[in-house]
Structure 1
Amino acid sequence: MTTTAQFEKQTKSLIDDLKSVCANYGLGNDGNEFKIITQVFLYKFLNDKFVHEVKQLDPNIAAAEDWEKALRNLSEDDREMLTMQMSESTATIHPDQLISSLFDRQNEPKFADILDNTLLDIAKNNSEIFSVITEGGEKIVLFENISKYVTDKRDDFCRAIINKLVHFSFENIFHEKFDFYATIFEYLISDYNSNSGGKYAEYFTPHAVAKIMARCLVNGEVSNATCYDPSAGSGTLLMNLAHEIGEDKCTIYSQDISQKSSNLLRLNLILNNLVHSIHNIVKGNTILEPFHKENGRIQQFDYIVSNPPFKLDFSDFSADLDTKENHERFFAGIPNIPKTKKESMAIYLMFLQHVMYSLKPNGKAAIVVPTGFITAQSGIDKKIRERMVESKMLAGVVSMPSNIFATTGTNVSILFLDKQNKSDVVLIDASNLGTTVKEGKNQKTVLSHIEEDKIIDTFNTKTAIDDFSVVVSYDEIKRKNYSLSAGQYFEVKIEYTDITVAEFEVKIQDFSANLEALFNESKTLEMEIQSNLKRLKYE
């Protein structure tokens, strides 16, 4: 029997094979390689899921020596009835669009056009469920013409792709759960998830951070929950949150200005059985034009997670944010445009205010912020902390180890909000945890499972641990000038040793004798040095 580890190895091998094909046709490390790899991988996944479900629904097809022939022999009405019984998460695929069919047709002329048209037709036929939308209402469908990225030998390229796909099957992997697909997804996008220089560049949040955020947010049974990320990136935070709640017990909402991120998030949703939420995935500028609304107001959510970009030049539209409608949302203000280094504008402060505004009256949130935010003595930063404390919506803060993100040297903290937390706040200093490892050219701090659990358990039980965590009241935070740094609340411990007067005098005599000996030694050395200097002078 094939193990999960073997499935994982085989799936990663398929991804490597697809990358190898791209490299052989001049697309290695090309910006378009990402589009080809992710779309081809998704086509394969949806193809195999369709086949898997067909066999589940029709025992005759499953038992047939040639299942594809048995499928083709169905009447149009029977085939339509079969597809109507399929789950919403399964794309509808015609027998002619199956990978096995394309494999049989690979020697036909203009094979690249056959593959491209197949992908475009599948995208069109499944547009209603599988499309991401833009803030302007346009649909970004599943697939596009992939051979256009190859300048020469397009037919050969497409044949090579199909030949890699046909010898692998996802059918035995559909029973695998979140941890498996999270690993595969990370491997799939590992070469493409870098800062491309665009606005709100893609972020991949380490699993340790995502896991801590999800498990500190979700306690007990939850159902019919709405989960939102205003800067979703590839969706790591949302996937962890949905898994903690239960994929069938929540609905995902997101917005991100990057089309690349939106496509990655769609892929993540499909892999993790969250297809029902794809229509809530929006490509757009959250800060300028928040898409998700109810009755004309910005929609509020049960859970919000976010790892927003910390700094970004948003001077092009910062003036447009200063409107009457936005005064309540951006209550603490909008960062000024610096005369130089516009790229240093603290856009995370805008996302943080947006998150606070988007929480339901009983909502919870977890946001990654630069650690400097939790102690800033003035400005927008402090105004935001004051609001959190005064309105009693702060649950706690976890200050993470440095280099928890390999791609940035910025120290980060996780800010937890809970609009129903009217009691104490837990502050955790986890900066000394973790082991440093090398990742490429960067140093990265990795938390062990035991360390992750220590943070999560301490937070959820609100436990005070010497030099690690402290539990404080809102009034104590006010007295500390709204500082959220655990270290500023730790007790300074002074150890006292009881000794008699006689013992004290003996110690003083010992110290005096030692000092006298040291002074005498110092004088001797000084005389030797002067003598040597005189000798050198005359030589």
Structure 2
Amino acid sequence: MTDEQKHSLEKALWGIANTLRGKMNADEFRDYILGFIFYKYLSERLHLYADEALKEDGIVFADIDETTPEGQELLAAVQDASTEALGYFLKPSELFSAVAARSRKPGAFVLPELATILGNIERSTMGTASEEDFDHLFEDLDLTSTKLGRTEEAKNALISKVLTHLDGIDFRLADTDSDVLGDAYEYLIGMFASGAGKKAGEFYTPQAVSTVLARIVTTGKERLRSVYDPTCGSGSLLLRVAREVREVSDFYGQEMNRTTYNLARMNMILHGVHYRNFDLRQDDTLENPMHEGMTFEAIVANPPFSANWSAKDLFKTDDRFADYGRLPPASKADYAFVMHMLHHLDDKGVMAVVLPHGALFRGGAEGVIREYIIREKNWLDAVIGLPANIFYGTGIPTCIMVFKKCRETEEVLFVDASTEFVRGKNQNWLDEPNIDRIVNGFRDRVETPRFSHLTTREEIAANDYNLNIPRYVDTYEAEQAVDMKAVTKNLTALDQGMAEIDANIRKVCAQLGLEAPV
């Protein structure tokens, strides 16, 4: 598919989303439109798979008669195969195109059967390896909500309109070399994030920042055994890592918000990640970690900035926190996430996390933790200062901290990328040259005036383990020297010019019989 066709698909999907815009706020109609796109994707993917499986027998899946014993026997065989291969099953009458066609008939009322079909998708996975990945996946697509309309007829008319518009879009799933629908889905998530204000930070990291993190943790690698995000949001950051290498074997993540967790699972499946190759869990990562005993080759995260956490005394004996001597304060969980991630980082892995600037210099328990990481463990590899106002819902400047457990150097790289941005009307952003300069600065590890500096742990210790970037990267630009002789000459010339002007004014005033100004 060409870029023009891709943009056309994105435009069409966003246009359909706008059908619901006037009915509810952005994060609510997001759940509906993304849910219906996902349902259409599952239908088309199942349809393609079933037709291929039945091809040798000369049978078309959509033509199977569900009411006959022969048809039911065929469907049972297809179901066994598809739940193993795809993780779920749909009958021909449950396919998106079939429901959309029925919705267009005069007097048709499809809401009850549509709700049943979405439930059937989940039920088709029960007792199979994919059950957890589809469990309550459509729970946010509430077809009984009064936000869809005041009457059942109004709700049905609106949903039928959405189904019809979506049915007219070709997702081109037969093109196995293309991930256009995945790209379009990401585009929609980004568009919803841009309109969601502060809430956007709960589920989406700006694509450019995700790209920087992904390129950092994949530096020098073509394949990854595993990638993990403890605050995975919509899963976009995990998927961005996969774009930077030939293959990621397995994806792991945890997300506290149930709606966002559902979105992440949909995002994984829609991008063609097999249900056996991702393990996303829903719960509070700090309070109830779901991947204990596991380590990962790459870890990326954009945790909620300076969030609250319990900091309970029992965590002092938790393997994630016990060695540091102090727990992060209850009012700022930034280092709690860092310590959790370090606990899960493989000895040869790389970890990149976005944090607020305060994590670089705040004292107290956080200062003790920073000192332990640097002085005792030598795990800090780089600190990259990002521009202000590049995240949704907050204008604060942020940084990326990079950690490695088996470092071959004692030096720590500091990069000041605070000026690497394109100014926008409401929000700044990173373009490709900005991204390249930041990533190349990390990879090259060379000294660049007013941009990067390689420092020793001794220098950091001398700064009392304060990592504030201006202490290490000198961005001062000397003012241009002033030529005092030239300034004096110019002032003398100005004085002479003013004297001539004053003489002319006095002459004119005398001719007019007026008193000259003093």
Q: Provide the TM-score with structure 2 as the length reference.
A: 0.80
Structure 2 counterpart of 1:288: 287
The CA deviation at 1:493 is: 9.0
Matched, 1:394 2:391: no
Structure 2 counterpart of 1:482: 465
User: 2 CA distance for matches of 1:325 and 1:140?
Assistant: 32
1:109-508 equivalences in 2 (<5 Å): 110-127=109-126, 128=128, 139-142=135-138, 146-149=142-145, 150=148, 151-152=150-151, 153=153, 154-172=155-173, 174-175=175-176, 177=178, 181-188=182-189, 190-191=191-192, 202-223=202-223, 225-247=225-247, 249-276=248-275, 280-294=279-293, 299-314=294-309, 317-319=310-312, 321-325=314-318, 328-329=321-322, 331=324, 333-336=326-329, 345-376=331-362, 378-390=363-375, 391-423=377-409, 424-438=411-425, 442=426, 444-490=427-473
The CA deviation at 1:143 is: 5.3
The CA deviation at 1:349 is: 2.2
Identity in percent: 21
The CA deviation at 1:3 is: 2.4
The CA deviation at 1:326 is: 5.7
User: 2 CA distance for matches of 1:161 and 1:494?
Assistant: 57
Give the root-mean-square deviation of aligned CA atoms. 3.8
CA gap 1:416/1:120 in 2 versus in 1, 3 angstroms: same
**C-alpha contact 1:253 1:280 (8 A) present in aligned 2:** yes
User: 1 CA distance for matches of 2:487 and 2:138?
Assistant: 80
**C-alpha contact 1:397 1:427 (8 A) present in aligned 2:** yes
User: 2 CA distance for matches of 1:35 and 1:330?
Assistant: 42
Structure 1 counterpart of 2:92: 95
**C-alpha contact 1:194 1:202 (8 A) present in aligned 2:** no
The CA deviation at 1:382 is: 2.0
Residue identity matched to 1:168: I
User: 2 CA distance for matches of 1:451 and 1:71?
Assistant: 58
Residue identity matched to 2:448: I
The CA deviation at 1:288 is: 0.9
The unaligned stretches of length 5 or more in structure 2 are 496-518
Q: Provide the TM-score with structure 1 as the length reference.
A: 0.77
Partner SS state of residue 437, structure 2: helix
CA gap 1:110/1:445 in 2 versus in 1, 3 angstroms: closer
**C-alpha contact 1:229 1:305 (8 A) present in aligned 2:** yes
Structure 2 counterpart of 1:46: 42
The unaligned stretches of length 5 or more in structure 1 are 338-344, 498-506, 520-539
Structure 2 counterpart of 1:35: 31
The CA deviation at 1:262 is: 0.4
CA gap 1:469/1:510 in 2 versus in 1, 3 angstroms: closer
Structure 1 counterpart of 2:509: none
The CA deviation at 1:118 is: 1.1
User: 1 CA distance for matches of 2:140 and 2:360?
Assistant: 45
Deviations 1:63-108 (A, max 9, x none): 98x7722697984454454555557346422112112322443347
**C-alpha contact 2:232 2:253 (8 A) present in aligned 1:** yes
The CA deviation at 1:48 is: 1.2
Residue identity matched to 1:358: H
**C-alpha contact 1:259 1:283 (8 A) present in aligned 2:** yes
Residue identity matched to 1:283: Q
Partner SS state of residue 422, structure 1: coil
